[in-house]
Structure 1
Amino acid sequence: MQGAESRANIGFIGAIVAVATIGGFMFGYDSGVINGTQDGLEAAFDLSELGTGFNVGAILIGCAAGAFSAGRLADVIGRRKVMMLSAVLFFISALLAGIAGSSAVFIIARLIGGLGVGAASVLSPAYISEVTPAAIRGRLSSIQQIMIITGLTGAFVANWALAGVAGSSTAPFWYGFEAWRWMFWMQAIPAAVYFFALLTIPESPRFLVTKGRHAEAEAVLVKLLGEDEGRRKVAEIRDSLSQDHRPRFSDLRDKVSGRIRPIVWVGIGLAVFQQLVGINVVFYYGAVLWQSVGFSEADSLLINIVSGTLSILACMVTVAVVDKLGRKPLLLIGSAGMTVTLATVAFAFSHSVTGADGAVSLPGSWGVIALIAANLYVIFFNVSWGPVMWVMLGEMFPNQIRGSALAFAGLAQWLANFAISVSFPWAAANIGLVVTYGFYAASAFVSYIFVARMVNETRGRELEQMEG
């Protein structure tokens, strides 16, 4: 396939990927903007610990619904149209969350945003995998995670800057509205950019083939891959699809045994383990977490930015090696590294002390050890499970079941995210950070065994060669 890659229109492919990955940026921004707004939410809505957890985690219910709906809806109306719908949802959510006068309105706003995040989370990598040659698919799909982390970091930077200028996240800012409200309103700008940029890219050629629009699919593929390869690919895609019906949920069952195909369970397992290691505790509650062990609000927000920057650099490493080293080796390296670093964080938290004023801190060098281990954990995650899980979900399923399988894998991923994120405030307060982080470390260890035994390598394979 080296010849096919050399004939590909890399400039056109790069432009398409750049637009599609804005969805990743929005995914990251909408997920990360909550980090640093908790004080404002608690003050405005008089929230308990459980109430804070639900306001923070409400977006994840929408994400689960959005991911589940988007996969199948994309099989009906197309990948691009569903991504455009997600951009509209991002915009509405940003405006409504910032103006919310009650917890109920805020939760509705975050649910709406979650629908957009869920859709973007499964469709951006799927779309990218469907318009890129196999030889460079991993590299280009990995850019999605870079954009997710860039969105997270962008939210962290915006929150830090707004809180710094206003004096704190709860202080009045422009037009008398608190800074935390502006943190949400800032999201409307990239949401609008995403919508109009999507108007410039073509529909997925694989979707066009499923709809019988072969001439349109061939035109897109010829522009992407060159004339001879584009025409050959149309025929190959047609052969990989069932000739008697269009994609549907029942395709997830094996025709002989009637059981769910093993590849679907592997995809669900990858999606769930990515969340059970607790990564979004760092991204959603980082500021609160570091304040709980003695860091100031300003320092905690700055730590978020450092973590985000390290995440981007780690993802760049993945872009460089994922098509050379492969998907499975990176997942195994990540699982091993996360097991050690998470266990170290848990051990460091076991040394926390409570002062006479009730403030919790880590004495001596334990605060530094926890900080270093946490950031090494973030690096291991973002060089492996962060980008590679999305790469694999976008490419591992056969054409006939990709949309349906993504629906279930995306649903599982966001439900696991919801369970971990909403439970964290309660777990930290009632069973402690040691046990909580010990659970994340144990999950990372089990994920190593899962990958070693269940996951097959997909590097260099055409989407039409995927079996399940």
Structure 2
Amino acid sequence: MLLACAQQITGINAIYFYAPTIFEQSGVGTNAAFAQAALIGLINVLFTIVAMGLIDKVGRKPLLLIGLTGVAISMSLCAWEFKQAHYKIENAAIFEELNIPAPMNLVGVTFNSDTEFKQALRIELGDLAAKDYEAKLISNAIQFNAKLFLFGILLFVASFAVSLGPVMWVLLPEIFPNHLRGVGMALTGLVNSAVSFSVQLVFPWELSQLGAALTFFIYGAFALLGCILVARYLPETKGKSLEELEATFIK
């Protein structure tokens, strides 16, 4: 159950499904956002292949520890980038493009966080207009190192794809005893799907209410916790038969 939760609670499916939105809000623009979302898929495939080649050489547990460490580092990097970001609409041209009046309390004013900027949008534009134009205005206003943020996201995907993604589905059938394997895998799949659904459901709210920095920090913290628990409690199954593993766990 630990792995079933850890695989999803680090935010992988939220990153996949909301990648264009995340990149657009990082200031790269809509077209670049979709291109970088496609790059995420490519990185995922490549590092899954790497995991397939390493899983019987390196072992399940080392790959998980490497991957979870990478996830924690990458999410911390993304959180730090958004923490350093500033938001400033330099001129009123963006409002003319959107065909809305330019609030003078927004133009030329520097905001120190995305939550502060979003709050100002709601105050000046109203809730409905702020929701409609938020992504475009954030993309225009944000000032931070978008390339470093992209590196953090790609490192996250690579770390996940080389560890939690494929390794969990190899490791869990080896851990469950023969007579419980079917039920155990079904229950694992249920927990995995439930956590995935919850993460995706909450993710937009987290971005809106907590801000990107805290959201990514939370995912990094979950990865670090998972790394500690895997190091402490998860056995290595490489090179052992199912019968040997069952005898070990029964003891």
TM-score band, normalised by the shorter chain?
Answer: 0.7 to 0.9
Q: Which residue of 1 aligns with 2:143?
A: 363
User: Corresponding residue for 1:299?
Assistant: 32
Counterpart pick for 2:221 among 428, 434, 442: 442
Whether 2:166 is the aligned partner of 1:433: answer no
Q: Which residue of 1 aligns with 2:97?
A: none
Distance 1:321 1:428 in 2: 35
Cα distance in 2 for partners of 1:390, 1:345 equals 28
Distance 1:284 1:329 in 2: 28
Q: CA deviation at 1:286?
A: 0.5
Q: 1:380: Cα distance to partner? A: 0.9
Q: Distance in 2 between matches of 1:301 and 1:461?
A: 43
Code of the residue aligned with 1:321 in structure 2: it is L
Matches within 5 A, 1:103-114: none
Aligned residue for 2:143, secondary structure, equals coil
Partner of 1:452: 231
Q: Secondary structure at the match of 2:192?
A: helix
> Please, what TM-score do these two structures have when normalized by structure 2?
0.76
Conserved 8 A contact 1:283-1:304: yes
Unpaired stretches in structure 1, ≥5 consecutive residues: 1-267
Provide the aligned C-alpha RMSD in A: 1.5
Query: In the alignment, is residue 384 of structure 1 matched against residue 163 of structure 2?
Result: yes
Contact 1:293 1:352 in 2 (8 A): no
Partner in structure 2 of residue 339 of structure 1:
72
Distance 1:463 1:404 in 2: 16
Q: How far is the alpha carbon of 1:323 from its aligned partner? A: 0.4
1:321 to 2:54 alignment: yes
Equivalent of 2:84 in 351, 371, 374: 351
Q: Deviations over 1:392-424 (max 9, x none)?
A: 123221110001111221111111111111001
| Contact 2:28–2:146 (Cα < 8 Å) also in 1 | no
Ranges in structure 2 where 5+ consecutive residues have no aligned partner: 95-133
Aligned pairs for 1:107-186 (under 5 A) are none
Match of residue 330 from structure 1: 63
TM-aligned CA deviation for residue 291 of structure 1: 1.1
Letter of the structure 2 residue corresponding to residue 326 of structure 1: G
CA contact (8 A) 1:339 1:445 kept: yes
Aligned residues: 200
Corresponding position: 1:276 with 2:9: yes
Instruction: Pick one of 172, 177, 194 that aligns with 1:393.
Output: 172
Matches of 1:461 and 1:334, distance apart in 2: 22
Letter in 2 for 1:452: A
Correspondence list, 1:54-133, <5 A: none
Alignment check: 8 A CA contact 2:7 2:164 kept: yes
For 2:63 and 2:176, locate their aligned partners in 1 and report how far apart those are by CA, in whole Å: 19
The answer as to whether partners of 1:353 and 1:360 remain within 8 angstroms in 2 is no
- The residue that corresponds to 2:190 in the other structure is 411
Q: Deviations over 1:89-129 (max 9, x none)?
A: xxxxxxxxxxxxxxxxxxxxxxxxxxxxxxxxxxxxxxxxx
TM-score (norm 1): 0.41
Partner secondary structure for residue 236 of structure 2:
coil
Q: What does the per-residue CA deviation read over 1:290-327, in whole Å, with 9 as the maximum and x for residues that have no partner?
A: 11222222211111111111111111111111101100
Q: Which amino acid aligns with 1:305?
A: A
CA distance in 2, matches of 1:334, 1:354: 33
Match of 2:115 in 1: none
Distance in 2 between residues matched to 1:460 and 1:397, nearest whole Å = 16
**Structure 1 residue 354 displacement after superposition:** 3.1
**d(CA) in 2 for partners of 1:453 and 1:384?**
17
Matches within 5 A, 1:8-27: none
Spell out structure 1 runs of 4+ moving beyond 4 A.
none
* Rounded Cα–Cα distance in structure 1 between residues aligned with 2:24 and 2:35: 12
**Partner in structure 1 of residue 116 of structure 2:** none
1:79 is matched with: none
Q: Give, in angstroms, the shift of residue 281 of structure 1.
A: 1.3
User: How far apart, CA to CA, are the structure 1 residues paired with 2:173 and 2:29?
Assistant: 40
Cα-to-partner distance string for 1:208-266 (whole Å, 9 max, x where unaligned)? xxxxxxxxxxxxxxxxxxxxxxxxxxxxxxxxxxxxxxxxxxxxxxxxxxxxxxxxxxx
More relative contact order in 1 or in 2 (CA 8 Å, sep 6+)? Answer: 2
User: What SS does structure 2 have at the residue aligned with 1:354?
Assistant: strand
Q: Name the stretch that deviates more: 394-403 or 447-456.
A: 394-403
Counterpart for residue 421 of structure 1: 200
User: What is the CA distance between 1:458 and its match in structure 2?
Assistant: 1.1
